[in-house]
Structure 1
Amino acid sequence: MLAYAIRRILILIPTLLGVSILVFLMLHLTPGDPAELLLGERATDEALHQIREHLGLNEPLYVQYGMFLKRLMKGDLGETIWTRQKVWIEVKQRFPATMELAVTALFIACLFGVTLGIISATKQYSIFDYVSMLGALTGVSMPIFWLGLVFMLIFSVNLGWLPLSARLSIDVDLQVITNIYTLDALLTRNWVAFRDAIWHLIMPAVTLSTIPMAIIARMTRSAMLEVLRQDYIKTAKAKGLSQFKVVFKHGLRNALIPVVTTIGLQFGVTLGG
């Protein structure tokens, strides 16, 4: 086991190195001059020269990559163009809210996606199966930004059921500990703030969960159908076990392996927005 773990870690090193080279080259192949982007089109040649010297843009490409890799190893991701703050500070400020939204969205996606997949597999070729898989296909194809705008228009602007923006109402007080508002509300037992934070999370979380929910539902259905065709499932049915035990005790347990892998991949995608 230890040898396998060491081997996997050693394989990871060239992979990360290749990713860093790819990211570096993509940044340099992007049209436009970084110096002009920072200073604007009206910047003087002297100012452009100074900023290029400061950023090391006049150095050869391999030297620039070495500088990039050295800073990356130190956790220095540079400064943002708009606020002039360190990137890690910007990430630190916004990561808790991103994590809160991603975890909530993935929870919704897993809850409904796995459930729909199981029911569709046990009722293959039924109306429910066709409708749910059509919905899953629609969910995968739906642009999230468009769906979010539709939800905002319907549930916030027209019906007024859900808040349009922000993470917490102005008139709700909360002692911030982790900057994850739902967790902070639970830690301080502020149930008013907890309900309000959940209320603000519903619409963006449901919107963000549509694509992973559809993917998880399709994967669960496919995995369950494959497992339910196995001989040991037929044997379990022949022994007189209930449909519930056959599906959940013998079927779902073995079908969850690819589903869990899919959920892990979807968490990374969801976290990235």
Structure 2
Amino acid sequence: MPTLLPAAAPANPARQVSAPVPAIELLLQGGATLLVLAQRICTRVLMMLVVALVVFVVLRLLPVNPLGMLLPATATHADVDALAHTMGFDRPVWMQFGIWIGQVVRGDFGTSIQSGLAVGAMIVQALPTTLQLIFCGLLLGVGLGVASGLLAFRYLGRPLERVLDVGGSVAISVPDFLWAILMILGFGIALQWLPFLGPIDAAIALPRVTGFTLVDAVLTGDMTALRSAAAHLVMPVLALALGIAPPLMRILRSSLIEVYNEDYIVAARLRGVSDNRILFAHALRNAALPTLSMIGMQAGAIIGGTLLLETIFSLPGIGNMMVGAIATHDLPVIQGLALTYSAAVLAMNMLTDALLVLVNPRLRLS
């Protein structure tokens, strides 16, 4: 017993000296992570500015005069010059861009040439419809992709895997707008199972609370409106999901096959660990990294894909607004919507980066 005391005595001081080291390392890692995050945010902001500049310059090079739509046929050149001066179109392009960016920073996206309404208010009015479509489409697409990927891996080499592979190949070869047209012809017109025009039945008066028809129907307790809004979303959401699910299924299956060749998976199987525990507790976490990257890419793609779908299904979102603004050469609306689309895509990319860092801590200092 006495011989143990001298050996134990120096252990406590050693622990007291070395204890602060992990805390310092955590602080350094946290500071480095914040620095990397700040750099990525600055990069995204610069990318938005570049996109805004390109859109602004291209719109100014178009051989159209949007002011002509605001003036009668009998307007003189003096009338055109006066209106151009009022709206700032007679200034150099770089000065117009600087003024517009300054207004955007203050929350002012300008005024629509056609309607005379504030562009920012128009975007806020239409944005919930697009966000609801994107969220539901992404949720369904990710669910279908992950479920089919797990099934394809579980039944690898069996008929079910081949059926899923063929179905994914067919789904991915048809663009989302063509799926929308086929669904309208089949489910909407031929079978008359689902509505396909507008966000809700015209006979239903749903008070606007948030702008999201599903949420507003729940908040107001109107189950008839909820069923109608959900029915109107089925086809556009499914059209988006069919473009998301097949790539996710393929990359998840491939990632799982690669992960299952790792030594720790082989060791777990030799220890008698159940297949479900190996799949969900070990393999799926590592296979999730390329899958999350693919989800981020697909999410950015469907944001642009909503433009055609909203037009086909007559949904009053920012995609439908963009088509109308292009048709009428409404430059302030086009500029505001282009910046909104760019911000949405960049925000989705940043969210994907954050999820990847959360799943894989080794990326925090990369």
Q: What TM-score results when the alignment is normalised by the length of structure 2?
A: 0.66
- Residues 1:11 and 2:52 are matched in the alignment: no
**Distance (Å, rounded) in 1 between the aligned partners of 2:232 and 2:71:** 38
- Shift of the 116–38 alpha-carbon distance from structure 1 to 2, 3 Å rule, reads farther
In the alignment, does 2:242 pair up with 1:227? no
Matched, 1:54 2:86: yes
Deviations 1:50-86, CA, capped at 9 Å, x for gaps: 2322232322232122122212222222233443322
Partner of 1:130: 162
Q: Residues 255 and 50 of structure 1: is their aligned pair in 2 closer, same or farther, counting only changes over 3 Å?
A: same
Aligned residues: 273
Counterpart pick for 1:179 among 204, 211, 231: 211
Contact 2:100 2:110 in 1 (8 A): no
Gaps of 5+ in 1: none
Residues 3-12 or 208-217, more deviating: 3-12
Q: For 2:258, give the aligned amino acid.
A: E
User: Which residue of 1 is the match for residue 139 of structure 2?
Assistant: 107
Quick check: 1:256 aligned with 2:288?
Answer: yes
2:123 counterpart residue number: 91
Q: CA 1:48–1:3 in 2, change beyond 3 Å: closer, same or farther?
A: same
Identity across the alignment (%): 29
Cα separation, partners in 2 of 1:41 and 1:70, compared to 1, 3 Å: farther
Residue 161 (structure 1) shift: 0.8
Query: CA distance change for structure 1 residues 68 and 245 in 2, over 3 Å: closer, same or farther?
Result: same
Distance 1:51 1:223, change over 3 A: farther
Partner residue in 2 for 1:207: 239
Deviations 1:165-189 (A, max 9, x none): 2222344454432121211222333
Q: Distance in 2 between matches of 1:61 and 1:175?
A: 43
Q: Identify which range, 173-182 or 107-116, moves more after superposition.
A: 173-182
More displaced, 157-166 or 214-223? 214-223
Q: Any conservation in 1 of the 2:67–2:80 contact (CA below 8 Å)?
A: yes
Contact 2:201 2:228 (C-alpha < 8 Å) held by counterparts: yes
Q: In the alignment, is the contact (CA less than 8 A) between 2:60 and 2:93 conserved in 1? A: no
Secondary structure of the 1:75 match is coil
- 1:236 matched to 2:257: no
Residues 1:216 and 2:255 are matched in the alignment: no
CA contact (8 A) 2:176 2:240 kept: yes
Deviations 1:172-215, CA, capped at 9 Å, x for gaps: 45443212121122233333332222122111211122212223
CA deviation map 1:102-145 (0-9, x unaligned): 11111110111111122223333443333323333333332222
- Shift of residue 42 of structure 1? 7.1
> Given the superposition, is the C-alpha separation of residues 116 and 200 from structure 1 closer, same or farther in structure 2, using an over 3 Å criterion?
same
In structure 2, the residue matched to 1:158 is 190
Whose RCO is larger (CA < 8 A, sep 6+)? 2
Relative distance call for 1:122 and 1:28 in structure 2 (3 A) is farther
- 1:75 paired with 2:96, answer no
Structure whose CA Rg is larger: 2
Greater mean alpha carbon deviation, residues 227-236 or residues 186-195: 186-195
Amino acid at match of 1:33: N
The TM-score, its normalising length taken from structure 1, stands at 0.87
